[in-house]
Chain A
Amino acid sequence: MITYHPETNVLEAARQRISYIFDNFERIIVSISGGKDSTVLAHLALVEAHKRGRKIGLFYLDEEVVYQATIEQVEYLMSLYPENTMRYWFQIEFNLTNSVSLTDGQVHCWDPAKKPLWMHKRSKNNILAAPWSHKTVIADKNKGFGYYDVITNFEMNMPNTAHLVGLRAVESPNRFRAVTRNPGFKDIMWSTKAPCGGVSFYPLYDWNYMDIWKYIGDNNIRYHRYYDFCALKGIHPAQMRVSSLTHEKAYKSIASLPEFEPETYEKLLKRIKGVSFAQETAKNKKMFLAQKLPKGHKSWREYRDFLMQTYPDKSKLPIFERRFRHHLDNEFVARQQCRQLVLNDYENDLPVKNTEDPIIQKINFWRDVL
């Protein structure tokens, strides 16, 4: 059950929550992304650290293939209260999904062989090699050492630590309820367990986007320029998101990149394959969205078979064949299979909903009724 507390606004509540974490944990690390929520969270935590004369960690996992504005924002946060900040800026090699290329399904970020093409610079102040001594844990052998593996291994290396995360419930109520069903620390519902005695806390869970912007405005904090770009473009503030340039929905951010950061777009063209095509077709319903059947194909099933036959990477093809063998044979499923094929989603980041075609079900229902 949800209980409202009219006597306490979200800012006072978040300050109390952060103070509670400082009382209970010696080691505190805030995960930052360059986005607005983690910017606010890092600022609140840094102010508390400053007040108490303590040091906290700021953890940023640098995917290399990111907006220049993200790097600037992270650098800003790292330098806000240097005497209270431990810099956990990771620039280590790992694998990212590249959904816009059929031949290069993954980007190996910070690949030494690609050094002349790196999207931005590596710095000696940052962490450039895996700092842990335990054997590296990898969740999915198909994907290799990926984004979440870095986080898991980092957390394993930081026992009894409070990890602060800027997750907000209004953003994704389902996810919030899913993660907070069991408290991760004492009776704190806005926390979950992390590896090795660590706990993840979500002190901003009840904030909405207006609270975020008010805090940024009131405290004169710098924020990612992409939000102003979105505002100019007329995107609703609740929909604004600084998202990745490489994961399975990256084609959406690539669409506006030449306009937002032309230089980053130029670098991206050289760094990963498939960018130019994605930029031109990102908003086309026939392409990555797979919402409309391209002309020349009579059905999604036929289009899927065509995509399978012409799929260029023979080593990855069996992954799709094995997966699709277990699926139902209908248009609803086939459309989703097409989407996986055009996004080269052998990692299964956007799983196929394997059910009867809801349209056919509806037709059958009305046939029975009438």
Chain B
Amino acid sequence: MKIDIPCQRIQMVPRDKIQANNYNPNHVPKDKMELLKQSIIDNGFCFPIVTIWSEEDGKYIIIDGFHRYTMCQPEWLDIDPVPVVVLKHDISQRMAATIQFNKARGVHELDGDADIVRSLVKQGMSDADICQHLGIDAETELRYKQLTGIVELFRKVNYSVSWSSDGDERDGGESV
């Protein structure tokens, strides 16, 4: 199969010539937006916005990369012009592509994330830096650092007092 490689044809277009689509169901929560911002600061703008050209609107309509496009706005990182690739998709191809771009991705194994955090700690990165660059809050970082497991939480408690029941439910039920 011959695979097209649109990312070889990146164009720089003015920010105000780009427009969101009206069907994208993807929602990125605030903390992940902050992480995206940090990612662009740390790594640069690595992935162009995927668009189609709409003759009717005279605009590039976004298929994928709405949140990267948001990052280009003045209230975030103020990037203009913006790198885009332009596909020749009809509306149903566009919708399918949006879903494909949003959903074809992995889930991080929790242990794997925790391993990375612990390894960064060992490399001497500060807690604040870890939080900032991985886009996690202090509590999440603490949880990742907890190597001990649940059992350590209860090592120091005392065993509770035993009880017995005579099978009569008329009272005492509440104290169970």
Contacts and interface: CB of A to CB of B under 8 A. Distances in A.
B150 A4 contact: no
Given A217-B155, A231-B149, A231-B150, A9 B160 contact: yes
Contacts of B164: 2-3, 5, 189, 206
Contacts of A13: 162
A311 interface: no
A22 interface: no
Contacts of B168: 1
Contacts of B172: 1-2
Contacts of B154: 210, 213-214, 217, 237
B166 A217 contact: no
A9 to B, nearest CB: 4
Interface stretch (B27-35, B68-76, B103-111): B103-111
A260 interface: yes
A9 B157 CA distance: 12
Interface string B99-143: 000000001111000100000000000000000000000000001
Contacts of A6: 161
A169 B173 CA distance: 11
B3 interface: no
Contacts of A10: 159-162
Nearest to B147: A228
B151 A232 contact: no
Interface in A226-252: 227-234, 237, 240
A259 B107 contact: yes
23 contacts: A1-B170, A1-B171, A1-B172, A2-B164, A2-B173, A4-B162, A5-B162, A170-B176, A173-B176, A176-B176, A177-B165, A180-B167, A183-B167, A189-B167, A211-B159, A217-B151, A217-B154, A228-B149, A231-B150, A232-B114, A237-B153, A258-B107, A262-B107
Interface of A: 1-6, 8-13, 169-170, 173, 176-177, 180-183, 189, 206-208, 210-211, 213-214, 216-218, 223, 227-234, 237, 240, 258-260, 262
